[in-house]
A and B are shown apart, each in its own frame.
Chain A
Amino acid sequence: MLSKSDVFYDRYERKAELQHQTHYCPGCGHGIAHKLLAEAIHDLGAKDSTIFVSPVGCSVFAYYYFDVGNVQAAHGRTPAVATALKRSCPGSLVIGYQGDGDLAAIGTAEILHAANRGEAISIFFVNNAIYGMTGGQMAPTTLVGQTSTTTPWGRRPANEGYPIHVAELLATLEAPAYIERVSLHDGKNIMKARKAIRKALDIQRAGAGFTFVEILSPCPTIWKMTPVEAQRWVEEKLLPVFPLGILRDRRPAIAADGGPPRKPMAEVLGLTRDAAGAIPASGAGAAVQPVTVKVAGFGGQGVLLLGQMLAEIGLREGMEVSWLPSYGPEMRSGSAHCHVCIAGERIGSPLISNPDVLIAMNELSLRKFAPHVRAGGLILYNQDALPAGFDAAAARVVCVPASRIADDLGAARAANAVLLGALQAETATFGAEVALSVLVAAIRNPSLHELNRKAFQAGRSFAAERTAAA
């Protein structure tokens, strides 16, 4: 009834022995399913464009037979492997072939998600309700009461649950284009299976989405039956539990959207931007002094951004810089800090134990980090005055009520800009012009630029007046 397709190798040379016949047992459904597939690939003229993914199970050696591109996948992972093959080679016909252990046990996540993404692949699921290759253990599709080497008293729902209906399960998803269950127990049904296999491949070729054919298949060897008894067992036992028919037939299942716009590599990497409105660096390191800074406060106060801006200032002035955020449990507790190094040479440790400058945006940070500031260093504290009884030891403290100043300007979030201004005026380790340009570049929302400029200037003025008063 079925002739040998040219999609099969003439001799199975990848096989060690008996290269004229398959390794499948007499009466096994795999042989028939293979023939139907080979025929369909031939009729589609898709021999060269087909990629066949073999599973782990009795059909692990499917690549012995199919004269197409072959990839052998890890147990259960065929849909994942097939997903990437198809996305890498969109013009190819990707066929995944899996047994019931591979697909319905270890590979449940992969099949479910490939189907749910509507991958334009075809998966052929050979269900014989038992593990063949490993010698007859229970499959997820093993029937209630069916004995196997791991259900010696028969499958008991109380212990092993019920057989899984994969076709029905996948039919609950939106994306699949076509799902059908067929059987190989007699000639009439084999012809139906042939039609279903062709249809699945046709749909894939048309790019219309995920296709899935579950194939009920006799396994005379493990069932310990003659081929004829095995066919009858499929009809009498499997069919009532796994009813045949089409469960999904809908196209196109997913509308194509074209994806995001393409851009030249240099643009994607940000190599063409004129540094987001940057002014050119003012010279080789001359305008910025080496300094190490720790910025600390609550999350949401712009702590990390202030640190990034300092690093960016150093970078634009031709210095070596590093920025390292606080890391670990603090990230979840609402407080944050970062380390900034600006140096004239290659930076060793980006972690600063004893910073030159501490910007403490809250009292907690002040208490935690002030004792470690280098002797003669500077602390900028975001308040009108130090907490009562606080001793800053050997560091100089400047209180800048940045949050209040920013609040008065109408944006509490600009407190970091106030502190940037205050630091600039207080230390002159970097210029006001470069700081302003970095500040503006760092704030994504243009409507906040003016406000942040004002906040920066307010910080500078505050520090300058304070110095004048002192």
Chain B
Amino acid sequence: MRQLTKGNVAVVKGALLAGCGAYYGYPITPASEIAEAAALYLPQVGGVFLQAESEVAAINMVYGAASAGVRAMTASSGPGVSLMQEGMSYLAGAELPCVVVDVVRGGPGLGNIAPEQSDYFALVKGGGHGCYRNLVLAPASAQEMADLTRLAFDLADRYRNPAVVLTDGFIGQMMEPVDLDATVAVPEAKPWAVAGTAETRKNLISSIFLEPDLLEAHVRKLEAKYLEAERLEARHEVYRGEDADTLVVGYGIVSRVLRSAVEQARKAGAAVGLFRPISLWPFPKEALVAAASRCRRVLVVELSTGQMVEDVRLALNGTVPVELLGRVGGNVPSVEEILDRLLPVGAAAR
């Protein structure tokens, strides 16, 4: 049944259907509706909701719940996510699955509560200490807020690693039809968990390896998982890419604006296609290379001064000129602003 649902609420509905049993969080605009929806829904289906004393406590509670083998999540925005980064490093180090949602707002510092995509570096490239990765998904609709949150739980379990839903204030705040059916996932058993039972008594959750050789072996083991994820988990979408000579690249809310821009540009006779990364880590490099192979120009649009553009440039490795259109502070480039960059002066049909 399609229901008009706010993106942030859809996150929680997706989590419930993923069998999420615990939410530990701390309020922050523009992510608070996620905590509010979790507070409303989770206890009604036997799950745990707790408002923690800080984001630091919240992520460590997630660590505790994940240690016990429960599907657990938290959500926040920029400043709160910065505080969670130490805990995320511990989760990755201790090989614990969890889902963290970042509804990105303007930064740095307190910034503002308007949407940005400026936490890309912090979550896609790391942010916490040590050699680890987050699996990062970027929804572009309320429906995907539910679907990708659900997928994030599966990926987190599969790789025993934090999975991040990286979204922005627009996708979090907008309402769209969301179609769900009430089939709840039954997560696979976690024989490694510490659950206060005879079967799990011998288990240990830890990220400390004092001996250099042991730590190196552990980090190599993590690395092997990340290499496998790079092979298997890259996701993307191409729109009107077949005959494109110009490729626009964007994720989240930007990909929505770009889709409209592509439609307009096509009406004006320009062969423009859209490449939308759905997973930001692993970054869909190969698909991007393929999509850009016939293009003479690539335009990256993002709500930052240039973060994802680095991955686009790395992937294309100088084969195609890559331009950036970045806006920050809560400003989203309009379709017209993008067309101005794509089309010769005066070509856009107004």
Closest B residue to A331 by CB, please name it: B113
Q: How far is the CA of A325 from the CA of B61 in the complex (A)?
A: 33
Q: How far is the CA of A109 from the CA of B90 in the complex (A)?
A: 19
Does B205 touch A at the CB level, under 8 Å? yes
Least Cβ–Cβ distance between B39 and chain A, in angstroms: 10
In the complex the two chains form, is B67's CB within 8 Å of A321's CB? no
Closest A residue to B42 by CB, please name it: A268
Residues 189-207 of chain B: 1 if any A CB is under 8 Å from the residue's CB, otherwise 0?
0000011111011111111
Write out the residue numbers on chain B whose beta carbons fall within 8 Å of the beta carbon of A84: 22, 24, 48, 50, 60-65, 67-68, 72
Given contacts A88-B48, A92-B195, contact A353 B22 (CB under 8 A): no
In the complex the two chains form, is B112's CB within 8 Å of A87's CB? no
In the complex the two chains form, is B182's CB within 8 Å of A269's CB? yes
Q: Which residue of A89, A271, A275 has the most chain B CB atoms within 10 A of its CB atom?
A: A89
Interface stretch (choices A257-265, A399-407, A420-428)? A257-265
Q: How far is the CA of A347 from the CA of B43 in the complex (A)?
A: 35
Residues 1-27 of chain B: 1 if any A CB is under 8 Å from the residue's CB, otherwise 0?
111100000000100110001101000
Does A70 touch B at the CB level, under 8 Å? yes
Q: Which residue of B173, B180, B330 has the most chain A CB atoms within 10 A of its CB atom?
A: B173
In the complex the two chains form, is A110's CB within 8 Å of B53's CB? yes
CB within 8 Å of B: which A306-340 residues: 308, 311-312, 315, 320-325, 327-329, 331
In the complex the two chains form, is B256's CB within 8 Å of A263's CB? no
Write out the residue numbers on chain B whose beta carbons fall within 8 Å of the beta carbon of A315: 2, 4, 177
In the complex the two chains form, is B200's CB within 8 Å of A69's CB? yes
Write out the residue numbers on chain A whose beta carbons fall within 8 Å of the beta carbon of B180: 269, 271
Does A348 touch B at the CB level, under 8 Å? yes
Given contacts A315-B4, A324-B173, contact A89 B56 (CB under 8 A): no
Given contacts A63-B206, A70-B205, A321-B177, contact A308 B60 (CB under 8 A): no
Pick the residue among B4, B203, B256 that contacts A70 (CB under 8 A). B203
Does B332 touch A at the CB level, under 8 Å? yes
Closest B residue to A438 by CB, please name it: B4
Q: How far is the CA of A327 from the CA of B330 in the complex (A)?
A: 8
Does A246 touch B at the CB level, under 8 Å? no
CB within 8 Å of A: which B171-191 residues: 173-177, 180-182, 184
Q: Which residue of B1, B67, B330 has the most chain A CB atoms within 10 A of its CB atom?
A: B67
Q: How far is the CA of A50 from the CA of B112 in the complex (A)?
A: 45
Write out the residue numbers on chain A whose beta carbons fall within 8 Å of the beta carbon of B30: 327
Least Cβ–Cβ distance between B227 and chain A, in angstroms: 26
Q: How far is the CA of A69 from the CA of B67 in the complex (A)?
A: 10
Chain A, interface size: which category?
35 or more
In the complex the two chains form, is A72's CB within 8 Å of B207's CB? yes
Does A350 touch B at the CB level, under 8 Å? yes
Interface stretch (choices A73-81, A282-290, A378-386, A453-461)? A73-81
Closest A residue to B43 by CB, please name it: A260
Pick the residue among A77, A263, A348, A353 that contacts B60 (CB under 8 A). A77
Write out the residue numbers on chain B whose beta carbons fall within 8 Å of the beta carbon of A74: 60, 63, 86-87, 90
Least Cβ–Cβ distance between B93 and chain A, in angstroms: 10
In the complex the two chains form, is B4's CB within 8 Å of A80's CB? no
Write out the residue numbers on chain B whose beta carbons fall within 8 Å of the beta carbon of A87: 22, 48, 50, 65
Q: How far is the CA of A110 from the CA of B54 in the complex (A)?
A: 9
Interface stretch (choices B118-126, B257-265, B290-298)? B257-265
In the complex the two chains form, is A88's CB within 8 Å of B1's CB? no
In the complex the two chains form, is B196's CB within 8 Å of A311's CB? no
Write out the residue numbers on chain B whose beta carbons fall within 8 Å of the beta carbon of A373: none
Least Cβ–Cβ distance between A371 and chain B, in angstroms: 14
Chain A interface helix/strand/loop/mixed: mixed
Least Cβ–Cβ distance between A271 and chain B, in angstroms: 5
Does A16 touch B at the CB level, under 8 Å? yes
Q: Which residue of A67, A84, A353 has the most chain B CB atoms within 10 A of its CB atom?
A: A84
Q: How far is the CA of A329 from the CA of B13 in the complex (A)?
A: 29
Write out the residue numbers on chain A whose beta carbons fall within 8 Å of the beta carbon of B58: 80
Does A51 touch B at the CB level, under 8 Å? yes
Q: How far is the CA of A311 from the CA of B182 in the complex (A)?
A: 24
Does B334 touch A at the CB level, under 8 Å? yes
Q: How far is the CA of A469 from the CA of B41 in the complex (A)?
A: 53
In the complex the two chains form, is B60's CB within 8 Å of A268's CB? no
Does B217 touch A at the CB level, under 8 Å? no
Given contacts A110-B53, A265-B184, A268-B41, contact A60 B208 (CB under 8 A): yes
Does A266 touch B at the CB level, under 8 Å? yes
Closest A residue to B214 by CB, please name it: A16
Does A252 touch B at the CB level, under 8 Å? no
Does B132 touch A at the CB level, under 8 Å? no
Closest A residue to B173 by CB, please name it: A325
Given contacts A48-B201, A265-B16, A322-B175, contact A351 B257 (CB under 8 A): yes
Q: Which residue of A49, A63, A77 has the most chain B CB atoms within 10 A of its CB atom?
A: A77
Given contacts A84-B61, A265-B16, A349-B259, contact A260 B44 (CB under 8 A): yes
CB within 8 Å of B: which A76-125 residues: 77, 80-85, 87-89, 91-94, 109-110, 112-113, 117
Q: How far is the CA of A144 from the CA of B122 in the complex (A)?
A: 42
Write out the residue numbers on chain A whose beta carbons fall within 8 Å of the beta carbon of B194: 51, 69-71, 85
Does A47 touch B at the CB level, under 8 Å? yes
Write out the residue numbers on chain B whose beta carbons fall within 8 Å of the beta carbon of A311: 4, 175
Residues 73-93 of chain B: 1 if any A CB is under 8 Å from the residue's CB, otherwise 0?
000000000000011001000
Given contacts A109-B57, A271-B180, A315-B177, contact A88 B205 (CB under 8 A): no
Closest B residue to A353 by CB, please name it: B334
Q: How far is the CA of A48 from the CA of B202 in the complex (A)?
A: 9
CB within 8 Å of B: which A171-203 residues: none
Q: How far is the CA of A271 from the CA of B183 in the complex (A)?
A: 11
In the complex the two chains form, is A350's CB within 8 Å of B60's CB? no
Does B336 touch A at the CB level, under 8 Å? yes
Write out the residue numbers on chain A whose beta carbons fall within 8 Å of the beta carbon of B273: none
Write out the residue numbers on chain B whose beta carbons fall within 8 Å of the beta carbon of A53: 64
In the complex the two chains form, is A69's CB within 8 Å of B195's CB? yes
Write out the residue numbers on chain A whose beta carbons fall within 8 Å of the beta carbon of B344: none
In the complex the two chains form, is B4's CB within 8 Å of A312's CB? yes
Given contacts A88-B48, A88-B195, contact A268 B16 (CB under 8 A): yes
Instruction: Give chain B's interface residues, CB within 8 Å of chain A.
Output: 1-4, 13, 16-17, 21-22, 24, 30, 41, 43-46, 48, 50, 52-54, 56-58, 60-65, 67-70, 72, 86-87, 90, 94, 112-115, 169-170, 173-177, 180-182, 184, 194-198, 200-208, 210-211, 253, 256-263, 330, 332, 334-336
Q: In the complex, given contacts A74-B90, A275-B1, A322-B174, what are 17 additional A-B residue pairs having Cβ atoms less than 8 angstroms apart?
A: A54-B206, A69-B203, A70-B205, A71-B204, A72-B204, A80-B60, A88-B65, A92-B196, A113-B57, A268-B44, A270-B3, A308-B4, A348-B262, A349-B256, A349-B261, A350-B174, A351-B334
Q: Could you list 5 A-B pairs, sorted by A, with CB under 8 Å?
A: A51-B68, A72-B94, A84-B64, A262-B44, A322-B174
